[in-house]
Amino acid sequence: MARIVKALTAVRNNWKKSVFICAAASYGLQYAVDKYNSFQLMRGYCEEALQYGEIPVLNGSRPRHITIILNPVANKRKSKKNFDKYCAPLLHLAGISVNIIQTESEGQARGLVESLDEVVDAIVIAGGDGTVSEAVTGLLRRADGDLAVQRKFPIGILPLGRTNTVGTSLFFDSDKVKMMAEATMAVVKEITKPVDVIKIEVLETEQELPGKAVYCLGGIQWGAYRDAHAKRDKYWYWGALRSYVTYVFTGLKSDESDVSWQCKGVLSYILPCSGCSRCIQPVETDTSTRRWWHVFVSRQIVEPVSKDYSKVINEHCGTKLQKEISAVDLSLTTANVSPNCFRDGDPHIKVELGKDFMYKFHPY
């Protein structure tokens, strides 16, 4: 008993050291538990990937071959380490031939994909939103870009960047290790999903030379919010508060901040249609199964599952409208990261102007 009283007295007399030791021990214990859980999680994924690697390859055929475009400086230079630790082992255990190409500068991923001449089964993009946009742009700029799209050339995404909007929407999980492993296993299992692509191009005029188109999967932003968000790394010394401090300082130095405070233009759009006789063609009924006895015996008619839109009239379907816009911020978001729509699976774009105006329409 005397020893317990003595220990408690020592803790009370040195409470600052005691609090520090308890906090350090708690952090160390939580770190060890997280590492153990990650180890057990990766062990399960490795065993699953090994089952695919043990499948024999037929004579005369070649193993699957993928090319990985890796941005090593993404996520504060942690992407390369995370790829080697959580993604590469699963690909190798699955028996996939992997060719890793690391980018060395901004925009290089676009040129690498555009000039890629080797035969691959898929291209996997390991990085953030910028790397994904560059790789997709390079693929669709290729001379055989349209042919590649027709063949549904698969593109895998490994969310290794600080922000990867499409990868996060596809494999979102609060556990980052599980999200990276799920994205890798989707490549192993050859799970595909069609996604929408935004094409951005400069309109041709007599004074300007036409530039090459740029493509993105998530969306685009224009205005004060986007410009201020791009400057947040400048205030790195504020730590976790840098996102808030960026907007405050940008607003206080509005004359010197070089921010687009007004977005003016003309928005051309087509209103979404939930289905009418113009956009949905009637389904022809197959009468090939009709027999001679059906003249005397009534045949049970099975109604089609889909709705009959032949009598639905929408005069505004396909009509292009225009609207002059003037706002502080403009954003266009694809269905890849904004799934709300009239009919599930339909491509659409969500347009947001400022804080109060929001509009949805089909791409034209």
The list of the chain residues with pLDDT below 70 reads 144-153, 203-210, 252-257, 281-307, 339-346, 355-364
Which pLDDT belongs to residue 256?
Answer: 60
Give the span between the Cα atoms of 360 and 183, in whole angstroms: 29
Structural domains for the chain:
32-188 (3.40.50.10330), 220-260 (no CATH), 262-279+308-364 (no CATH)
Give the span between the Cα atoms of 237 and 242, in whole angstroms: 8
Give the span between the Cα atoms of 83 and 68, in whole angstroms: 11
Residue 278 per-residue DSSP state: T
Give the span between the Cα atoms of 289 and 141, in whole angstroms: 48
CB burial class (10 A; 0-12, 13-18, 19+) of residue 178? middle
Q: Show the CA angle centred on residue 212, arms to residues 207 and 217, nearest 5°.
A: 130
Number of C-beta neighbours around residue 280 at 10 A: 17
Locate the DSSP E strands across the chain: 65-70, 97-102, 122-127, 155-159, 198-200, 214-216, 219-223, 263-270, 320-327, 329-334, 349-353, 357-361
Give the span between the Cα atoms of 75 and 83, in whole angstroms: 12
Which pLDDT belongs to residue 259?
Answer: 75
Give the span between the Cα atoms of 185 and 219, in whole angstroms: 26
Alpha helices in 54-175 (DSSP H): 74-77, 79-82, 88-93, 108-114, 129-141, 145-150, 165-171
Give the span between the Cα atoms of 165 and 315, in whole angstroms: 36
Which pLDDT belongs to residue 89?
Answer: 94
- Is the Cβ–Cβ distance between 272 and 317 less than 8 Å? no
Give the span between the Cα atoms of 333 and 205, in whole angstroms: 27
pTM above 0.85, yes or no: no
Which pLDDT belongs to residue 363?
Answer: 39
- pLDDT, one tens digit per residue, over 298-332 is 444 444 445 677 788 888 888 888 888 888 888 88
In 3-state terms, what secondary structure has residue 305?
coil
Q: Is 345 left (phi over 0), alpha (psi -120 to 50) or beta?
A: left
